[in-house]
Amino acid sequence: MAGLAESGSNPDVDLLYDINGLAKDAPHWFDRIMEYVGEYGIVLALVLLVVWCWWSVRRRGGEEAASSVAALVWAPLAAGIAVLVNVPIRGFVERPRPFLDHQGLDVLISGKTDYSFVSDHATIAMALGVGLFVANRKFGIAGIGLALLEGFCRVYMGVHYPTDVVGGFALGTAVALLLSPLAMALLTPLMKAVEKSPRGGWFVRARGRAGVGQDALIPGARTEAVGAEERDLAA
């Protein structure tokens, strides 16, 4: 399995050199930006995107708030599970990092001594992106776009083969989608219980978003309605 990319003439290695070659031609400052973005920035941006989506969902309220929040809770859980699934995959394939087998690569970050297939960063990013898509398509499309950029950065940095990234995308997508029905079946009732909790309800809905009709959004509307009903009965 370690010989997945031993030949420098296969498309995987050719594409690695083509993409990583861009780093050699780029200014030093741009490479430093790509190093930070590829190692930390995109994953952080995806986490913030999940938080933004959650904030939007809880402010909007509505009957689907609990299920939407459950889907958002699932997104980071899916990323964590996907990384755990990758542990035995890496141990089975045992693919060395590309810079260990191929000369002339511009490696932007040092200290990568673990196996290369599949990319943890690509796995996490795509699991978050697909998990976001399950909760909200608009945010999900943005998340998947960021995940694709993450994959490009990992190859640009010289720390992964393109197929490492593709494998990470496949693993993250598979975990996020295939386990989603089970996750939603468990998390949705939990979020509904949290929604009804006096202390934890804020996590699912913003205050004032009771979701029981327009009267719930207008202070005093219910009191006025009850008073009108009593006057009608007295008449």
pLDDT tens, residue by residue, 51-101: 999 998 888 777 778 888 999 999 999 999 999 999 999 999 889 999 888
pLDDT at 122: 96
The CATH fold of domain 11-204: Vanadium-containing Chloroperoxidase; domain 2 (1.10.606)
Neighbours of 166 (CB within 10 A): 16
Query: Most confidently modeled of 87-96, 109-118, 194-203?
Result: 87-96
pLDDT at 57: 86
pLDDT tens, residue by residue, 132-155: 998 889 999 999 999 999 999 999
Question: What CA–CA distances, in Å, run from 205 to 93, 156, 193, 201?
Answer: 45, 42, 12, 6
- Alpha carbons 232 and 207: distance in angstroms, whole number: 32
**pTM for the full model?**
0.81
- Alpha carbons 103 and 112: distance in angstroms, whole number: 16
Residue 8, pLDDT > 70, answer no
- Look up tokens 């593709």; give the residue: 166
Residue 202, pLDDT > 70, answer yes
**pLDDT band (50, 70, 90) for residue 172:** very high
pLDDT at 64: 79
Residue, of 50 and 218, whose pLDDT is higher = 50
pLDDT at 7: 44
Residue closest to 118 by CA, chosen among 162, 61, 173: 162
Residues 57 and 135: beta-carbon distance below 8 Å: yes
Residue, of 85 and 11, whose pLDDT is higher = 85
pLDDT at 9: 65
Residue 224, pLDDT > 60, answer no
Burial class of residue 223, CB neighbours in 10 A (0-12, 13-18, 19+): exposed
Residue, of 207 and 21, whose pLDDT is higher = 21
Task: Give 16-61 as a DSSP string.
Answer: HHHHHHHHHHS-HHHHHHHHHIIIIIHHHHHHHHHHHHHHHHHHH-
pLDDT at 59: 83
pLDDT at 194: 87
pLDDT tens, residue by residue, 18-42: 999 898 888 999 999 999 999 999 9
Residue 4, pLDDT > 70, answer no
Mean pLDDT of all residues belonging to the chain:
84
